[in-house]
């Protein structure tokens, strides 16, 4: 009976507990970007960097958000995981560039930057395409609650740390398969990791596809948990992307 009462309580407060989100621990490093840096500022900053690279020594591709996809998958956990939901977030707006050096991949680079407060949460079209692990279509009220819970002042603090940036540090391999060491900036902290990439469409067009696993705790984030882990969020988040771009100056 005690377990049934708990499940009933969880069901009656679904708007609060079905949000597979996280609770933030105060970062130990100072932010590298803040609310004062606007999307226009970041776009101008990256454009200037890649305009300087464009020329006889290589090719610059500007990534197109309208043709590209960026998906972030957050998974339910805990002993009562069935009472929660998996979530899919997407980035319909971002700034991104890819530089292909004339001397090969080792001297290439790429950048992708987007704002947390511009993420789309649980688009019904994306959920329905993911099968039984994402079975329900969430109400507008639940989606608004998810946004406030995941991105508000008590969690990812999107107003204070609005930007996520993926910046390449090193690229190895040969077309179409590459390995890239990237630096990920989120919540005022930076972490490096290696990710696989598939690059196609060259030399006039560009298609870059890949995925990686991001651990929330690596960025000072404690995954969401209630009732001693009875309902929780898994630490690992899957980020999946397919980026399309055309050759040309930023």
Q: What is the pLDDT of residue 11?
A: 43
Q: What are 210-215's contacts with CB under 8 Å, separation 24+?
A: 210/180, 210/240, 210/241, 211/238, 211/239, 211/240, 211/241, 212/238, 212/239, 213/237, 213/238, 213/239, 214/184, 214/238, 214/239
> Residue 16's pLDDT is what?
37
Query: Which positions ≥6 away from 173 have C-beta within 8 Å?
Result: 105, 179, 197
Is 14 contained in some domain?
no
How is residue 136 written in tokens? 């329900």
DSSP state of 62: E
Can you tell me whether residue 215 is helix, strand or coil?
A: strand
Is residue 8 included in any domain, yes or no? no
**What is residue 177's predicted lDDT score, i.e. its pLDDT?**
95
Residues 221/25, Cβ–Cβ less than 8 Å? yes
**Model pLDDT, residue 149:** 67
Query: Is 23 within a domain?
Result: no
Residue 67 lies in a domain: yes
What is the structure's pLDDT at 98? Answer: 94
- Tell me the CATH number at 212: 2.40.128.110
What pLDDT, on the 0 to 100 scale, is given for residue 104? 81
**199 lies in a domain?**
yes
**Where do we find the tokens 């204070």?**
160
Looking at the structure of the chain, the number of domains it has is: 1
Domain that holds residue 155: 33-247
pLDDT of 38: 59
pLDDT < 70 stretches in the chain = 1-40, 56, 80, 83, 146, 149-157, 224-226, 231
């Amino acid at each position: 009976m005690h377990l049934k009462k708990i499940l009933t309580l969880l069901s009656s407060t679904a708007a609060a507990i079905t949000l597979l989100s996280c609770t933030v621990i105060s970062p130990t490093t100072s932010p590298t970007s803040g609310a004062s840096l606007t999307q226009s500022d970041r776009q101008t900053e990256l454009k200037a960097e890649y305009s300087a690279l464009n020329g006889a020594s290589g090719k610059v591709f500007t990534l197109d958000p309208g043709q590209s996809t960026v998906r972030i998958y957050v998974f339910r956990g805990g002993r009562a995981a069935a009472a929660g939901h998996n979530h899919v977030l997407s980035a319909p707006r971002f700034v991104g560039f890819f530089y292909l050096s004339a001397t090969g991949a080792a001297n290439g680079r790429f950048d992708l930057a987007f704002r947390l407060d511009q993420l789309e949460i649980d688009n019904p079209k994306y959920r329905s395409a993911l099968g039984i692990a994402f079975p329900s279509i969430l109400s507008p009220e639940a989606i608004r609650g998810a946004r406030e819970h995941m991105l508000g002042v008590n969690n990812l603090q999107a107003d204070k740390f609005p930007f996520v940036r993926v910046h390449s540090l090193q690229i190895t391999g040969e077309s179409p398969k590459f390995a890239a060491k990237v630096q990920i900036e989120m919540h005022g902290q930076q972490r490096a990791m290696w990710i696989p990439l598939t690059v196609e469409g060259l030399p006039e067009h560009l298609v870059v596809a890949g995925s990686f696993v991001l651990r929330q705790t690596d960025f000072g984030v404690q995954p969401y948990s209630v009732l001693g882990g009875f309902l929780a969020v898994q630490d690992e988040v899957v980020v999946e992307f397919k980026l399309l771009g055309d050759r040309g100056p930023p």
